[in-house]
Structure 1
Amino acid sequence: MVEHPAAGRPVAHPPVVSSVAVGLPVELDGPAPGQRTLTAYGKSPVSGPVAVLAESLQGDRQADPENHGGPHKSVYVYAAEDVDWWRRELDRDIDGQMFGQNLTTSGLDLRDAVVGERWRIGTAEFEVAQPRIPCFKLGLFAGDRTMPRRFIAAVRPGAYLRVVRPGHVAAGEGIEVSDRPAHGVTLADVFTVYHHQRERAEILLGVPQLAPMYHEWARERRVRTG
């Protein structure tokens, strides 16, 4: 749909959830000397079924509910293949939870996920709502302040999901992708338009399942550019 700098890649099949993680807010040093920042990036994998609530996983909390969480950011997903890509890109080992995700997937290229497509995992159902926009907290948690910039350049944003049907999910369960919208706009498309091809913001207005903030941004861009 939209050209973006990240090329596709083959992935294993069928797609599964390789881990489920939750966490509570903690304080980290930074971003300036003497400052402390509250963040819920530090999520730990848990065993057994985890309840999927209306806007979160049970046992998971957000440090900044104004900018994180809510119906359009209920569950954050990152791919094991993307974590492996970062290990090669950074040329060092990294914690598999460095991106603060709730679900780690395997066998699913999240960049190609169509906004609005439905996923059935365990007894729960989700809808792909938007890609992630990185903030400075990614750099704090990664111990590398260049990470937000590198994250934007990499076009590997992961997926925020909204909850369609509460239930339970567990590591090892398959991901059934269904109801893929015909518009075909993917998470990589949205991320690329927002960060790299802003002149094409208009296409986001044709994606009704996209989180409202992107529609607001696209309308503002339309007004500014006439």
Structure 2
Amino acid sequence: MSREHWEPVTVFTGGLKPLPPEGQMTGMYKVRRDTPVFCDIEGLRGDAQGDRRVHGGPDKAVHLYPADHYTRLAELMPMASNLLLPGVLGENLSVSGLVESDVCIGDVFALGDARLQVSQPRRPCWKISHRLGVDAASRLVADNGLTGWYFRVLHPGDIPPDGALELVERPSPGMTLARLWALEQSHRPSVEEVNTLAEAIGLATQWAQRLKNRADWLARNV
């Protein structure tokens, strides 16, 4: 396959801080890194997640959010436009020119010494609304498919600041994250489509099982 590059990649990490207005601890407040950061199967060294039940872990080790989405988010939420800059949604990686319709489940990327595999979309949660101070923010992100995605780490290594993200393997061509999210948002997708995406190589086990359960329900309730 052809090898594609996107650069530069901006790298962010952050510790835990209270999230207004109620003070829940969150790892959404990130700082841009200007030196190499080591990445292992749990994510970037020096990074933290506030609720490990829904963020972090091997299938959600590194979060990428497309930089190009911020223009659209500012159109949808002009009242928060001053905040809508890369890093504000808690992403670890930011890159231009790469969005969900370009990326397939299971894609493997090289970034510095690390090898990262696309595992699942990010489900927008209520913390996005609190972070931006816009009640509808999480829903707008979900409804417009501006989700970003998570990587698992296949090979640990140093990730440089402003490095090149390189696509090196695509085991599930055609099974884009945009296609998966459209299915997720669909009221009644076809059983065939659900089963097809459930079998995508590299899809997080939790997502695959939920899709299989949904396909079974749809088949029983024609």
TM-score by length of 2: 0.87
Are 1:111 and 1:158, in contact at CA under 8 Å, matched by a contact in 2? Answer: no
Q: Distance in 1 between matches of 2:173 and 2:165?
A: 22
Among 96, 101, 115, which residue is 1:111 paired with?
101
Are 1:157 and 1:188, in contact at CA under 8 Å, matched by a contact in 2? Answer: no
Are 1:127 and 1:164, in contact at CA under 8 Å, matched by a contact in 2? Answer: yes
**Percent identity, aligned pairs only?**
28
Correspondence for 2:216:
223
Shift of the 171–111 alpha-carbon distance from structure 1 to 2, 3 Å rule, reads farther
Aligned AA (1:61): A
Cα deviation, residue 197, structure 1: 4.9
Aligned AA (1:145): D
Correspondence for 1:15:
6
Pick which of 13-22 and 186-195 moved more.
13-22
Cα deviation, residue 47, structure 1: 0.7
SS of 1:69's partner is coil
Cα deviation, residue 43, structure 1: 1.1
Q: Distance in 1 between matches of 2:98 and 2:211?
A: 28
SS of 1:199's partner is coil
Aligned AA (1:84): T
Among 73, 87, 97, which residue is 1:86 paired with?
73
1:47 lines up with 2:34 in the alignment:
yes
Cα deviation, residue 183, structure 1: 4.2
Correspondence for 1:9:
none
SS of 1:185's partner is coil
Aligned AA (2:43): S
Are 1:110 and 1:187, in contact at CA under 8 Å, matched by a contact in 2? Answer: yes
Q: Distance in 1 between matches of 2:210 and 2:132?
A: 28
Shift of the 202–51 alpha-carbon distance from structure 1 to 2, 3 Å rule, reads same
Are 2:28 and 2:90, in contact at CA under 8 Å, matched by a contact in 1? Answer: yes
SS of 2:189's partner is helix
Q: CA RMSD in A?
A: 1.8
**Post-superposition CA distance 1:110-164 (Å, at most 9, x none):** 3320111110011111001111101101111111120111011111211200001
Shift of the 110–48 alpha-carbon distance from structure 1 to 2, 3 Å rule, reads farther
Correspondence for 2:169:
179
Q: Distance in 1 between matches of 2:36 and 2:100?
A: 23
Q: Distance in 1 between matches of 2:195 and 2:104?
A: 17
1:1-150 equivalences in 2 (<5 Å): 14-30=5-21, 35-91=22-78, 92-93=81-82, 94-150=84-140
Aligned AA (2:141): F
Aligned AA (2:185): H
Q: Distance in 2 between matches of 1:57 and 1:49?
A: 10
Aligned AA (1:28): L
Unaligned runs of at least 5 residues, structure 2: none
TM-score by length of 1: 0.86
**Post-superposition CA distance 1:54-90 (Å, at most 9, x none):** 2110100111111111111000001111122222333
Q: Distance in 1 between matches of 2:185 and 2:205?
A: 17
Are 2:180 and 2:197, in contact at CA under 8 Å, matched by a contact in 1? Answer: yes
